[in-house]
Amino acid sequence: MVRWQDAWIQRLDLSGFVRLNLADRSRLTWLEARYRFARTDVALQWQINAGASSTEYGALPQSNLFQLLVKHYL
C-alpha cells in the first residue's frame, strides 16, 4: 500500500494497493486520486482484477471498475 499526500499540488492525494494471491497468481489493484476542497472531497477510484477465471480475483464479475465519489461535509 502506498499513499502520497499533496502529490504534485496541494490537496491532491494519491493512494493505492495491490493484493496478490501467490497460490493462483491473481491480483487485485486499487488506485485513488482524491482532491480535498474546503468542505468537499472528490475522488476517482480504479479497481483492476486480474487472473484466470478460476482464480480468486479473476473470478470477480468485473475486471475493471471505476468510481467517482463526491463527499460534502456540512
* pLDDT value of residue 61: 85
> Using an 8 Å Cβ cutoff, are 35 and 42 in contact?
yes
Largest CA distance in the chain: 46
> Using an 8 Å Cβ cutoff, are 18 and 49 in contact?
no
* pLDDT value of residue 69: 97
Tell me the per-residue pLDDT of 34-55, one tens digit each, with 9 for 90 and over: 999 999 999 999 999 999 999 9
CA-to-CA dists, residue 34 to 3, 10, 18, 49, 68, angstroms: 11, 11, 18, 21, 10
Average of per-residue pLDDT values in the chain: 95
* pLDDT value of residue 5: 96
* pLDDT value of residue 37: 96
